[in-house]
Amino acid sequence: MDVFEAIEKRHSYRGPFTDDPVSRDDLRRIVQAGLLAPSGCNAQTTTFVIVDEAAEVARLRDLHPRNQAMRSARAYIVGVVDKTAPPVYEELSFQVEDYSAAVENILLAVTALGYATVWIDGWLRREGHAERIGEALGLPEGKVARVILPIGVAQETNPKRPEKKPFEERAWFNRYGAGDASA
């Protein structure tokens, strides 16, 4: 799929998935796309656990009953980072930037291969969700699940997509908030 088409088609899918499986080859290709994303000072801070075995999938399915995608996913990709990010450039760490760029590549790869997903992030940081997933995946001390992507083939073919502001409200040439974007 053309990269601009993938960027255009990508959207957060929160509906139910069909029973179609997600092949391990596809999952590997999807995560490899994430690993090719840039990282601050090439520190490659993000790692991934790909959950596709029935028993493991079943454990994760129950964690987020309000989210239909989480409840019916055929596989999950969990992005793992350090609980305390070590600095890589003077006092700065780029762990959040790193995993976010990797996840965006993953979302585009998911889209290109005909699957759907949604970036679930803040929810993990609430009510012990990250800790329960960490236990299920055997994360070592010091590592935390920062993002989870439930993956499958979308059952809803035309889900509602949140509205995006137009270009003119978010981008300008040469000066912030410039009146005429074509000037």
- Could you give the CA distance from residue 67 to residue 108 in angstroms, rounded to a whole number? 21
Provide, rounded to whole angstroms, the least separation between the CB of residue 154 and its own copies: 16
In the complex with its own copies, the residue whose CB is nearer, 18 or 171, is 171
In the complex with its own copies, the residue whose CB is nearer, 17 or 81, is 81
Provide, rounded to whole angstroms, the least separation between the CB of residue 156 and its own copies: 18
> Please, what's the b/e burial string for 115-140 (b: 16 or more CB within 10 A of its CB; e: otherwise)?
bbbbebbebbeeeebbebbbebbebe
Residue carrying structure tokens 């055929």:
74
Torsion of CA 167, 171, 177, 178, to 10 degrees: -90
Provide, rounded to whole angstroms, the least separation between the CB of residue 49 and its own copies: 5
In the complex with its own copies, the residue whose CB is nearer, 38 or 159, is 38
In the complex with its own copies, the residue whose CB is nearer, 123 or 156, is 123
Provide, rounded to whole angstroms, the least separation between the CB of residue 86 and its own copies: 14
